[in-house]
Amino acid sequence: MEFGEGERAAVVGLTLNDFLGDWHLTREIQHGDGAQASFEGQARWIADAGGADYRESGQLQMPGQGAFQAERRYRWDADLRVFFDDGRFFHSVPPLGGDSAHWCDPDQYDATYAFCDWPNWSCRWRVRGPRKDYTMTSRYCPK
């Protein structure tokens, strides 16, 4: 999927309720040195007071390491702000799709959300800095 400027007009203001439930998740990770990794599993948003807990789990395939179980958790609030497990702010999801960012000293994380084929959607993170150099594209489709 290409990410273009016109994708923002395809969806009218997603809300947290649009994400709730179970999703199939695939992820491709392209490292700057040419190495590739992949992930396949599920993502789940579970609503509770003031937001939703996000959990993904599945198999991560790393170059030279084989596949192993991987899991990630976040907290989303009603305004589509995403927080780490420890409560620190991560980034905001643009309700119409588009760009977001996170600075994690000394690395820069730049995201592009694409909702043009809703309910199938994707998010691409470009991560650059002295410690990291990769592009990660996650694709979600409802279960």
Amino acid 12: pLDDT: 65
Amino acid 6: pLDDT: 43
The CATH fold of domain 5-142: Lipocalin (2.40.128)
Beta bridge mates, 122 = 114, 139
pLDDT digits (tens, 9 = 90+) for 81-107: 999 999 999 999 999 999 999 999 999
Amino acid 123: pLDDT: 98
pLDDT digits (tens, 9 = 90+) for 39-82: 999 999 999 988 999 999 999 999 889 899 999 999 999 999 99
Q: Which helix (H) or strand (E) element contains residue 19?
A: helix 16-19
Beta bridge mates, 50 = none
What pTM value is reported for the model? 0.89
CB atoms under 10 Å from CB of 63, counted, come to 13
The pLDDT confidence band at residue 9, using thresholds 50, 70 and 90, is very low
CA distance 135 to 14: 25
How far is C-alpha 32 from the chain's CA centre?
Answer: 19
Mean pLDDT computed over 107-122: 97
Better pLDDT: 1 or 36: 36
Contacts of 74 (CB under 8 A, 6+ apart): 53, 54, 82, 83, 84, 85, 90
